[in-house]
Amino acid sequence: MGYQLELRHFTYFLAVAEELHFRKAADRLFISQPGLSRQIKQMEEIIGADLFVRNNRSVSLTAAGHYLKKELAFIFNHIDFTIKHTRLINEGSNGEIRVGFLGSAIQTVIPEILINVNSTYPNIKFSLEEMSNYDQVEAIEKDQLDLGFVRLSRVPKGIQMKVIHTDTFSLVLPDNHLLTKDTFTSIKQVENEHFILFSSNYSSLYYDKIVSICEDKGFTPKVSHKSVHAQTIYKLVESGLGVAIVPTSLQHGFNLGVKFLEIPKIPQRAVLSVIWKEDNRNPALHRIMQFL
């Protein structure tokens, strides 16, 4: 009494259940027959059920034994798979990477990376969450996130950053606006319009950069609305509430009454970077680093 069931018991039971012969089962397990007999007996005592009928000349399974045999086969397979899978996760071949991103990055860069990673490591899964620059940095420091897609110039100590995409800026105008691709030569032509920008605490670098585009040309933009979603910004532009400046690549995927005119002759670029924690312990992350 007071013993515990162990996997050993299950292994032994399965051998006997398959051989229906203690001696042969013992041989298969490379142990002696009395040892096996005792373990099986102990197992029956622990469970509190007869598993075999010993006819003193032949061995057969009881109904309970039959059921147990079937279930244990399942359990062993499940355990085997689990152990194997655990090892794989440890090696980074399987696993999950938690990704944060700015809405303005989801159109171009991220999909490409995901597709590439998926073709080489189909077992690595992603969980995506849209977050502000600042929230991403915080989440990465807290190990709530493995990877962030941000627009930042600097990043706290302990966090790595790598530029992965630079983009020109485009002016967003309502479809019926006077300016066209041909007549648009400088951003100064819209200096009297109201500007709709991404909220500065969503991405302050981004905000400042757009303001600097205007200031370089000698005027300060009148910012009337701030928003977080490109969709919202375009809707406001379409409604005639103002104009906007966004990264050129952000024109894909929308169907609204606005037109995009690339701003010529400016040095500013929308820079998208990946960030991650130096001492991140997620093995899957290291696997996919090459794709960044």
Pick between residue 52 and residue 195 the one whose CB is nearest to DNA: 52
Q: Which two tokens stand for residue 86?
A: 């655990």
CA–chain centroid gap for 247, Å, is: 24
* C-alpha–C-alpha distance, residues 274 and 292, integer Å: 8
| 2 near a copy of itself (CB under 8 A) | no
C-beta neighbour count of 63 within 10 angstroms = 10
Torsion of CA 77, 83, 85, 89, to 10 degrees: 170
Question: Rule CB under 8 A: is residue 83 a binding residue for a copy of itself?
Answer: yes
Query: Residues 20, 79, 115, 163: which binds a copy of itself (CB under 8 A)?
Result: 79
The residue from 14, 27, 28, 31 that contacts DNA (CB under 7 A) is 31
Based on the shown chain and the rule CB under 7 A, indicate whether residue 279 belongs to the binding site for DNA: no
What residue 115 binds from DNA, a copy of itself, none (CB within 5 to 8 A, per partner kind)? none
Contacts of 195 (CB under 8 A, 6+ apart): 210, 214, 221, 222, 223, 224, 242, 243, 244, 245
Pick between residue 46 and residue 106 the one whose CB is nearest to DNA.
46
Residues that bind DNA (CB under 7 A): 2-3, 8, 21-23, 30-35, 37-42, 54, 56-57, 59
Residues that bind a copy of itself (CB under 8 A): 4-8, 47-51, 53, 62-64, 67-68, 71-72, 74-75, 78-79, 82-83, 85-87, 89-91, 95-96, 281-284
